[in-house]
Amino acid sequence: MKIAEFKIEEWMNKYSASAKYDLTTTCISPLCINDLNYSKDIFNIKLGYGDIEGSLRLKTAIKSLYENQSTDNITITHGAIGANQLVFLSILGQGDEVISIVPTYQQHYSIPEALGCEVKLYFLKEENQWLPDLEELKKLINKKTKLICLNNPNNPTGAVIPDWMLEEIVKIAENNNAWILSDEVYRGLNLDGNPYSKSIADMYEKGISVGSMSKTYSLPGLRVGWVVAKPELIKEVNHQRQYNTISISLLDDYFAAAALENKERIANRNFSILHKNLDILKNWLDKNPQFNCVLPSGGTTVLLRYNSNLSSVDYCKNLQKTTGVALLPGKTFEMEGYVRLGFCAENLQTALDKISEHQEICS
């Protein structure tokens, strides 16, 4: 399968590791094994393939993140990246119509395109607080639409689709018998009210939820993700999965379950980082009116509108060269004129000060 260059991943591989202040990150300071509860038995576990489709312990822990799911509705994957890919392979084929709500993680349009689908990009707008316009969505969808892809909370905008709006999106999909794939890797990180939005899997018979340990639970190094959907779809995903996964690492499975069983502790720690950093970001925006952004309702990133004639790629290259601060150019998200800023980053204040100094020199 020929597929487009994955622009964000290419950029991050090239620029993030060498950055002095990495604001391309989307992960809240990753945890270590010593932060998790484990027993010494782990050293005596035989490292076989383990439970092929994921352990019952892990599936039970994942089930607790949903309202009405059973462990038969869950399969374990190699990160959310593996989960998304398996879902696309399971339901799409040449000529199928797909609506992808952008900006989003590039998998959600480049894989369907590579599979020969007709992909319609629906662009979110800043003036709508990066939330979908339901009337526009109704105009795009038709009886041939097989799948709507969304990412909620959204990377890169930090927007969270309110539950009432999700209900409306479900009605639109239902009227056209379309699946909805909701990439929910940032679910559990709503900054106001209940941290968990409703999951699409709990709202719609053809709703598919993808989640993972990487963002909300600060364990991207475990490479554990999942798909939650009705059993018929899970069966199809497992069929595809046999060809590319066998099982995930037994150790990853063990530590993911241990982390989810203590998710409140991780949430407390992560929200204290996020709220502190959000205050830093708000103060900085107040003092730096050359930059604008819709404040995030969830997740770990915002789309920042910068004030310069440079393209987003040149702006980021120039910024990193002169200050050591790495941002992600909007170009990598099909959003020229913006940059993505991971406000979950550890040295946010210093990095933002550097961006201000750079702005002064440039203007």
Ligand X SMILES: Cc1ncc(COP(=O)(O)O)c(C=O)c1O
Binding site for ligand X (CB under 6 A): 26, 79-81, 105, 151, 155, 183, 185, 212, 214, 220, 225
In the sheet with 301-305, reading across from the earlier edge strand, the strands are 301-305, 338-342, 328-329
Judged by beta carbon, residue 26 or residue 320, the one nearer ligand X is 26
DSSP H helices in 288-363: 312-323, 348-362
Query: Are 181 and 84 within 8 A, CB to CB?
Result: yes
Judged by beta carbon, residue 110 or residue 155, the one nearer ligand X is 155
Q: For residue 239, how many other CB atoms are within 10 A of its CB?
A: 12
Judged by beta carbon, residue 188 or residue 225, the one nearer ligand X is 225
Judged by beta carbon, residue 26 or residue 277, the one nearer ligand X is 26
Judged by beta carbon, residue 100 or residue 151, the one nearer ligand X is 151
Residue 287 CB, nearest approach to ligand X (Å): 29
Q: Which two tokens stand for residue 179?
A: 């699946």
Judged by beta carbon, residue 75 or residue 214, the one nearer ligand X is 214
Residue 43 CB, nearest approach to ligand X (Å): 27
Judged by beta carbon, residue 186 or residue 315, the one nearer ligand X is 186
Residue 128 CB, nearest approach to ligand X (Å): 20
Q: Is 151 helix (H, G, I), strand (E, B) or coil?
A: strand
- Per the rule left: phi > 0, alpha: psi between -120 and 50, beta: everything else, 38 is beta
Residue 78 CB, nearest approach to ligand X (Å): 7
Residue 212 CB, nearest approach to ligand X (Å): 3
Residue nearest to ligand X (CB): 79
Residue 307 CB, nearest approach to ligand X (Å): 27
For 55, 69, 177, 200, the CA distances from 164, given in Å and listed in that order, are 34, 21, 20, 12
Taking alpha carbons only, the member of 101, 100, 107 closest to residue 6 is 107
> How long is the chain?
363
Judged by beta carbon, residue 189 or residue 316, the one nearer ligand X is 189
- In sequence order, which residues have a C-beta less than 8 Å from that of residue 132 and are 6 or more positions away? 101, 122, 124, 150, 161, 165, 169
Q: How far is Cα 154 from Cα 38, in angstroms, rounded to an integer?
A: 32
Residue 96 CB, nearest approach to ligand X (Å): 21
b/e per residue 244-255 (b: at least 16 CB within 10 A): ebebbbbebbbb
Query: Are 151 and 105 within 8 A, CB to CB?
Result: yes
Residue 123 CB, nearest approach to ligand X (Å): 17
